[in-house]
Amino acid sequence: MENFIKHIKFFISERNPEDNQKDMKDGIMEECDRYFKESIYLAAEAISELATKRIEDGDTILIFNRSQLVVKILLDAHNAGKKFRVMVTDSRPDLRGILACERLTAAGIPVSYIYINSVTYAMTEVTKVLLAAEALLANGYVIGPVGTGMISLVANTYNIPVIVCCETYKFSERVQTDSILFNELADPCDILSNVRSDVAWQNHPNLHLVNLVFDATPPKFISIVITEVAELPCSSAPVILRKQLNTCY
């Protein structure tokens, strides 16, 4: 959102202040539409094209949670005739991986579904890990749904390439080295669903329920970041940021 707002502010500052209000509004709406089309829809197409080249026949691809971009890449690769299977990793409390499962199985792709707890076991069969990012920070850290860091760590231990797909509008100037700074907490009561216990978990003086939303993955666990502009190593995120800043100021 940060980048989009900067872009629109810059666009507004470039406009002729003499313009009437209607023209100004129309211009801004048009620019918003153009930005969404280029940075989100077309970027997804470009990333899919680059990412499907990385998927080979016989691969077992591990994905996490549900990401529209990752599911799109897998569907495109399947439509291109590649023969592979997918391992969908899921985590409580959201269990959003089920949605990914539904879409992939509907297309005829063989899918295995596991909870994130068994990822060390599953990783022995996996050939590639395909993840999406919420943001890519200036120091190369990848912000993703909580659990991404763990999966990247395990994949790295087993020497399995971790491919992160990220559109350039998600690149941020922020710098962060751990998951606690700048995170979000979701409703702690979500953790309590399906918990069978006699203890009253809400309002217990010694118990603090933490439902983190994001986590930060260090660049050393990521093999490659695929953006619509280029395929780059995580550490080169500042190069793209520099180009974006140059066009903005």
Partner 1 sequence: MIPYDTKFQELSSRLKLASGTSRTSVASGCDLFVRFITLRSKSLEEDVWDSKNFDNLKNHLVERGKHFMKRLSGSRKSIAQLAYPFIMDGVTVLTTSMSRVVMEILAKAHEKCKKFKVLVTISEPDKRGHRMVKELRSRDITAMPILDSSIGFVMERVDFVLVGAEGVVENGGLINYIGTYPVAVMARSLNKPFYVAVESFKFYRMYPLRQTDLPNESKYLSEDEAEHPVVDYTPPQYINKLFTDLGVLTPSAVSDELMKLYI
Stretch that binds partner 1, among 26-34, 116-124, 164-172, 217-225 (CB under 8 A): 217-225
Give the separation between CA 102 and CA 104, rounded to whole angstroms. Answer: 6
* Nearest CB to partner 1, comparing residues 15 and 243: 243
Q: Which of 30, 235, 245, 248 binds partner 1 (CB under 8 A)?
A: 235
Q: Tell how far CA 106 is from the center of its chain.
A: 23
Q: How far is the CB of 245 from partner 1 (least distance, A)?
A: 14
Binding of partner 1 by 248 (CB under 8 A):
no
What is the bridge-based pairing of β-strands 135-136 and 142-145? antiparallel
Asked if residue 53 lies in contact with residue 26, where contact means CB atoms within 8 angstroms, the answer is no
* Residue whose C-alpha is closest to residue 109's, from 89, 129, 84, 92: 84
* Nearest CB to partner 1, comparing residues 135 and 241: 241
Give the separation between CA 2 and CA 169, rounded to whole angstroms. Answer: 9
Q: Which of 29, 42, 95, 230 binds partner 1 (CB under 8 A)?
A: 230
Binding of partner 1 by 46 (CB under 8 A):
no
Binding of partner 1 by 229 (CB under 8 A):
yes
Binding of partner 1 by 239 (CB under 8 A):
yes
Q: Tell how far CA 85 is from the center of its chain.
A: 20
Binding of partner 1 by 15 (CB under 8 A):
no
Binding of partner 1 by 224 (CB under 8 A):
yes
Q: Which of 27, 93, 161, 218 binds partner 1 (CB under 8 A)?
A: 161
**What's the distance, Cα to Cα, between the start and end of the chain in Å?**
18
Sign of the CA dihedral running 176, 43, 132, 84: negative
> Which residues of this chain interact with partner 1, rule CB under 8 A?
54, 161, 163, 220, 223-224, 229-233, 235-236, 239, 243
